[in-house]
Chains A and B, each alone.
Chain A
Amino acid sequence: MELLKLKGVTKEYKNHRVLDDVNLVIEEGDMVGVIGQSGSGKTTLLNIMAGFLEPTEGEVTYYSKIDQADKNLHKNFHKIKKHMGFAPQHNSFYHKLTVAENLLHFGKLYGIPHPTLIANIKSLLAFMRLEDDKHKLAEQLSGGMQKRLDISCSMVHKPKILILDEPTSDLDPILQKDVLALLQQVNKQGVTVILASHHLESIDNICNKIAIIHKGKVSVQGLVDDVKKPYLSDHFTITLHSGVDKDRLLARLKGVPILKIEEQGKTLVVYPSQVDKAVAALLQIIKEENLQMNDMDLRKPSLSEVFEKIAAQDDVPIVPK
């Protein structure tokens, strides 16, 4: 079910176009990573989706189960905001309140009945591993615990959509993994998660969808593998056990869709015209000739590489897949 849809969303600040005709679809249960360069418009996009900002042009809609129709998010924000959780870049809680007090405060503001709220908080504290620190002042928590508290505050009312802007910034790699793992668990509980993060490797690992923003436009969006597909490497390598094996392999390459082969010692750098067929044919030759292969690197591109390539294309828009 398409939960959120951005249709031709444009945002301008004093003649400066931050977002330009952004179209994006978020489906229920998705875990979407939004990545982009500094100033590309990630935070603006998240703020628009969170209802903070209204687009200059275009609209954001959400699917209303009650009305069985798409509704304008900003015009009906008062109806939907209780279903949204938002964690901005900075921690958004009261530093002079304890963990439990913060959760209780925000939970009560959402009008959750007390027994339900207490139950929610208990499970949340356990889920976020904050039980032992529930009576500590928020300012006394470590960076990772503060981030967990912040996410907890965003989830105390059990939102359907959780939007997080750079949830792992300022955290060390271990805490980053910790937080992202928690978010993955949140998503598994049925919450649609949208997050912007620098930690592209983690997004690569935990998000099922990504949207890459470049110069205010969503350059690419979709399933992670689909996004990566056009950016698979134009070559792969095969390292054989000996030079004899290498020569035997080279001798049987007729008919294999290969444009060019470079020899680097016992390693062959293969530039195929058709990757699938070339790989299959080479593996077949190795099997038939009983050759010994030390390694084969298909060079599946990382998200960083994909992003780098998109960024390198500069002003050339990429058609969303």
Chain B
Amino acid sequence: MESIWLLTKKNLQLLLRSRSSALVLIFAPLLLILVLALTYNSQGNYNVNIGVYTPVFSAETDSIIGALQAQNYTVVKYNESIDTCVADIKAGFSHACLSIPVSLVLEDNTQKEIVIYVDPSRQQLVYALEDVLKSTVRGRSSEISEGVSTAILAKLKTIQDNIAARKAELVAIKGKTSTATTNAQSAKTGLQGIDLTPTGGTYNQSVIDATILQLNSTKTILSLAVLQLNNSNISAADKLVLDSYLLNTSVAIDAASGMILGGNGTTITALLGQVQTDLGAANAKLGAAQSGVSASSTSLDSTSSSLQESITSLDALSTNLDAVVKVITDQKVTDPKVISAPLTTRVENVSPKATYLSYLFPGILILVVMFGSLLLGTTLVMIEKNSPAFVRNFFVPIPKFMFVLATYLTNLILIVSQIVIILIIASVFLPEQVATFPLIALVLFLTASIFTFLGMIVGYIFASEETAVLGSISVGTLFLTVSGVILPIEAISRGVQEIMFYNPFVVSERIIRQVFLFGSGFGDVVLDLAILAGYMLVLFFLILLLETLLHRHLVERFMRGHHKGGGPHKASVGKSEF
């Protein structure tokens, strides 16, 4: 047991006394955890940029934007064209775009469609993002639906209030109508009470006719008499004639008089008496009728008044009903489907549908190149550093940067070989992408250069090959962790994310994705290429600086490491060595 502890203690001492080993084995994990903790110490929501396009930003669009911002998403507004937003997705500046119609106000039974543009190649993010955006739109849709329903209910309430208010009027109209009915009934009764039956029987008018005839005859005689008188000089004969005429007139008159005063009721007097009697009866009836008519008239006046009031009330009611009808007709949205879901979403992919390999290819490619370059860079430097010939190179009359360039070139040749193999394999599985390979090769060249230089730096810093390789893997892991390939880069805290946007891994992967998935050309990615080229140059000069600063130190360390400390010990002098 003691020996185990002794050996363990020795191992620990050896490890801790080698500074680089201690650094890598003890502090590297702590550092990694610290970095990751700082990096991913963000809240649940991803740091996602969501572009919102609408021709005119209004309160409705602002409500959606507000909902997204409330979930800690960064909203970028676009009002020129949705294409700008889509281009930003492809460039990696935005993660999704919402295309919102000019107005979200429902005008008829047509649903409003919001188009969600996403990049399907961002596998870790796209589905979550779709859910979030759909959910946000659903939320807004529910709000609009609630608004529409509330409006409908408010209208119903208005109608209800109107109807309730008009109910009293209807009761009044009913009362008035009822009164009118009673009055009309009363008038009817009154009118029905009027006796309009004939009071007399049949009058014999022949008497009157005969009288009239007699009288006409008399008249004629008299006319003759008058004529005679006028024509004669009043002679006897004339007188006789006149007398005759007059006599006849007298007879006629008597006859007429008899007719008038006859006793069997056939005379005019009788007739008149009968008529008078009848007239009296008629008068009585007319009097009663007058009273009845008067009463009926009053009733009818009352009825008329009631009806007039009813008409007025009905007019008012009609107006109100018109208003109610207008309220109802004004409600354009009546389709239950539209009311329940006023907003719909449609997901549009900004890249053509492809296989998972296509989506994963950029990340895999950069991953291979990164680790390959890092490890090769480190290994080549370590091989050179630990080579027995390292010291001899100190004397050769060539600039130090030639060694750096040679290491870089060696690494590049190996990496290029790897890239060629990868691209050949890729051309088998993704033949449609072959045209993009030249640009991809350029990106990979820059990426390989950057990570080669980084690997070389690691190689220069660390002492032993094992720790250098561990250091190199740690560096690669760090880049990978914050690259978005394993964990979405959007989950990184905002500040770190902004820095990580320039992570060479991220930049390279972004370019490859743009070229590979979106068919972007050189001009589209020239800025990112410039960033990579910048990294490459900076790292190259950093290596030169490092090499210059460290070379003598490395040589000294090398010499110490290879110094056998030989020499004649005092105790051994004169013995076997000499």
Contact = CB atoms under 8 A, between A and B. Distances in A.
Interface in A79-112: 81-82, 84-86, 88-95, 102, 106, 109-111
Contacts of B398: 109, 111
A86 B395 contact: yes
A191 B566 CA distance: 25
B391 A86 contact: yes
B567 A37 contact: yes
A212 B564 CA distance: 19
Nearest to A78: B397
Interface stretch (B229-237, B321-329, B358-366, B555-563): B555-563
Contacts of B17: none
Interface string B548-578: 0000100110010011111111100110011
Given A37-B569, A92-B389, A305-B574, A52 B556 contact: yes
Given A90-B562, A92-B389, A198 B567 contact: yes
A109 B578 contact: no
A208 interface: no
B560 to A, nearest CB: 9
B574 A110 contact: no
Interface stretch (A38-46, A63-71, A179-187): A38-46
A198 B562 CA distance: 17
Contacts of B573: 304, 307-308, 311
A89 B570 contact: no
Interface string A145-159: 000000001100000
A89 B562 contact: yes
Interface in B354-402: 387-398
Nearest to A36: B567
Nearest to A81: B395
Given A38-B566, A39-B567, A40-B567, A47 B559 contact: yes
B563 A89 contact: yes
Nearest to B565: A38
A198 B388 contact: no
Contacts of B552: 52
A166 B559 CA distance: 13
Interface in A100-132: 102, 106, 109-111
Identify the interface centre among B387, B570, B574: most chain A CB within 10 Å of its CB: B570
A84 B395 contact: yes
Given A43-B559, A304-B573, A92 B564 contact: no
Interface in A286-321: 302, 304-305, 307-308, 311-312
Given A35-B568, A37-B568, A40-B567, A88 B559 contact: yes
B337 to A, nearest CB: 78
Identify the interface centre among A81, A85, A89, A93: most chain B CB within 10 Å of its CB: A89
Contacts of B562: 88-90
A12 interface: no
A89 B574 contact: no
A311 B570 contact: yes
Given A43-B563, A52-B556, A82 B568 contact: no
Contacts of B566: 38, 89, 166, 169, 198
A40 B567 CA distance: 8
Given A95-B388, A201-B578, A52 B568 contact: no
Contact of B392 (A53, A95, A153): A153
A81 B562 CA distance: 21
B570 A81 contact: no
Contact of B388 (A51, A92, A106, A111): A92
State which size class the interface on A falls in: 35 or more
A71 to B, nearest CB: 17
A87 to B, nearest CB: 9
A93 B568 contact: no
Nearest to B562: A90
Given A47-B559, A52-B555, A52-B556, A93 B388 contact: yes
Given A37-B568, A52-B559, A82 B387 contact: no
A86 B567 contact: no
A3 to B, nearest CB: 17
A93 B395 CA distance: 13
Nearest to A43: B563
A310 B69 CA distance: 86
Contacts of B395: 51, 81-82, 84-86
B396 A106 contact: yes
Nearest to A312: B570
A126 to B, nearest CB: 22
A200 interface: yes
A94 B567 contact: no
A94 B387 contact: yes
A35 B570 CA distance: 12
Given A47-B559, A311-B573, A110 B396 contact: yes
A140 to B, nearest CB: 15
A304 B389 contact: no
Contacts of A37: 567-570
A82 B396 CA distance: 7
Contacts of A201: 578
A159 to B, nearest CB: 9
Interface string A176-209: 0000000000000000000000101100000000
Interface in B328-342: none
B236 to A, nearest CB: 202
B409 to A, nearest CB: 16
Contacts of A110: 396-397
A93 B393 CA distance: 10
A93 B394 contact: no
A39 B568 CA distance: 10
A314 B478 CA distance: 56
B564 A169 contact: yes
A302 B574 CA distance: 10
A308 B388 CA distance: 34
Nearest to B398: A109
Contact of A307 (B387, B389, B396, B568): B568
Interface in B107-136: none
Contact of A92 (B392, B570, B578): B392
Nearest to A47: B559
B397 A91 contact: no
B192 to A, nearest CB: 141
A193 B135 CA distance: 85
A47 B562 CA distance: 13
Contacts of B559: 43, 47, 52, 88
A77 B432 CA distance: 59
Given A35-B568, A36-B567, A81 B392 contact: no
A67 to B, nearest CB: 19
A39 B565 contact: yes
A91 B569 CA distance: 24
Contact of A86 (B387, B392, B565, B569): B392
A46 to B, nearest CB: 10
Nearest to B561: A90
Nearest to A170: B564
A90 B398 CA distance: 23
Given A92-B388, A305-B574, A308-B574, A81 B567 contact: no
Given A53-B556, A198-B577, 15 more contacts: A35-B567, A36-B567, A38-B569, A81-B395, A85-B395, A89-B563, A89-B564, A90-B564, A91-B388, A92-B392, A94-B387, A102-B389, A200-B568, A302-B578, A304-B574
Q: Which 3 A-B pairs have the closest CB atoms?
A: A38-B567, A304-B578, A109-B396
23 contacts: A35-B568, A36-B568, A37-B570, A43-B559, A52-B394, A52-B552, A52-B555, A52-B559, A84-B395, A86-B392, A86-B394, A86-B395, A90-B562, A102-B389, A106-B396, A109-B398, A110-B397, A111-B397, A166-B564, A169-B566, A308-B570, A308-B574, A311-B573
Interface of B: 387-398, 552, 555-556, 559, 562-570, 573-574, 577-578
